[in-house]
């Protein structure tokens, strides 16, 4: 069997799903906590990214990335290999941010399911959601403790 870019792309997409499922569906399970302590998922995805990135790097792409112009970036990502590189970049970074959100929720007790779902489907929105949720939770927590103290 030949390993194609499509196979690696599909494999990378499937690879991240169990981690997201554990954080979203079973956040307090001991197995989830042990799995999410590991950096191995990020090492595996980053290795795939490095493999594709170095394979796609040539004088033209290096020059375009050294001084990125929007037209150059658009042209770069119009190629299948470059789009796959970009997608793995999203997978790595979104999962890393999702893991951070997960651990913040475990540490603080703040509900994170909605933020993790946003992060899975639209990374920066998940981060924003968690920041806002954390801010709101702190605000209401202070208000409740101030009322109890009075």
The model carries a pTM of 0.87
Instruction: Report yes or no on 133 lying in a domain.
Output: no
- Measured CA to CA, the distance from residue 91 to residue 20 in angstroms comes to 11
- Measured CA to CA, the distance from residue 123 to residue 113 in angstroms comes to 13
Range of the domain at 69: 5-108
**Residue 87 near residue 6 (C-beta atoms within 8 A):** no
What is the chain's pLDDT, residue by residue, as a tens digit (150 residues)?
A: 788 889 999 999 999 999 999 999 999 999 999 999 999 999 999 999 998 888 877 887 777 778 888 988 888 888 888 899 999 999 999 999 999 999 999 999 999 999 999 999 999 999 999 999 999 999 888 755 554 554
Instruction: Report yes or no on 26 lying in a domain.
Output: yes
Residue 128 CB-half CA count within 13 A: 5
The total number of structural domains in the chain stands at: 1
- Measured CA to CA, the distance from residue 21 to residue 27 in angstroms comes to 9
- Measured CA to CA, the distance from residue 98 to residue 93 in angstroms comes to 8
Instruction: Report yes or no on 136 lying in a domain.
Output: no
Instruction: Report yes or no on 137 lying in a domain.
Output: no
């Amino acid at each position: 069997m030949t390993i194609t870019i499509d196979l690696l792309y599909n494999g990378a997409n499937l690879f991240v799903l169990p981690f997201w499922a554990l954080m979203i569906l079973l956040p307090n399970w001991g197995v989830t906590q042990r799995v999410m302590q590991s950096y191995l998922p990020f090492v595996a995805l980053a290795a795939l990214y490095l493999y594709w990135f170095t394979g796609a790097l040539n004088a033209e792409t290096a020059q375009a990335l050294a001084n990125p112009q929007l037209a150059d970036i658009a042209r770069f990502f119009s190629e299948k290999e470059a789009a796959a590189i970009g997608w793995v970049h999203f997978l790595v970074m979104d999962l890393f941010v999702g893991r951070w959100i997960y651990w913040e929720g475990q540490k603080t007790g703040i509900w994170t399911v909605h933020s993790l779902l946003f992060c899975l489907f639209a990374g920066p929105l998940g981060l924003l959601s968690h920041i806002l949720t954390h801010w709101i939770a702190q605000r209401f927590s202070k208000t409740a403790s101030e009322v109890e103290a009075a």
